[in-house]
Amino acid sequence: NAGVTQTPKFRVLKTGQSMTLLCAQDMNHEYMYWYRQDPGMGLRLIHYSVGEGTTAKGEVPDGYNVSRLKKQNFLLGLESAAPSQTSVYFCASREYRAGELFFGEGSRLTVL
């Protein structure tokens, strides 16, 4: 019963480097989301997808790109990492009609 799986769980980058976070879900959910979590700010939506091949911007999309080439996977990319992108990133998914979000365990990213 994997649910939502995020890789990697930890990563340290230098300013200017690029990387991709992978989110995989095995629940056949239509919707997928990428959030970042910072102290005192709860979760803020970066990008989301309502189905394979679609993406949309959330509250804080600048500096990030996403792709949903397969229904079960949602990738979050950082083209040129900045220290302000140091955060814990969470992926979530949900069914088309349901409101419950299912979250992964998070990916902690540090940008030096």
Which residues of this protein are in contact with another protein, per CB under 8 A? 4, 31, 33, 35, 40-45, 48, 50, 56, 58-59, 90, 92, 99-101, 103-106
Give the nearest distance from C-beta 37 to another protein in angstroms.
Answer: 8
The sign one gets for the Cα dihedral 56, 4, 9, 22 is negative
For another protein, the closer of residues 17 and 30 by Cβ is: 30
Give the nearest distance from C-beta 15 to another protein in angstroms.
Answer: 27
Give the nearest distance from C-beta 48 to another protein in angstroms.
Answer: 6
Question: Could you give the dihedral angle defined by the CA atoms of residues 40, 18, 70 and 51, in that order, rounded to the nearest 10 degrees?
Answer: 40
Joined tokens for residue 18: 């690029």
For another protein, the closer of residues 79 and 95 by Cβ is: 95
For another protein, the closer of residues 56 and 80 by Cβ is: 56
Strand 19-25: give its sheet, edge to edge.
4-7, 19-25, 73-78, 65-67
At residue 57, what are phi and psi to the nearest 5 degrees? -80, 145
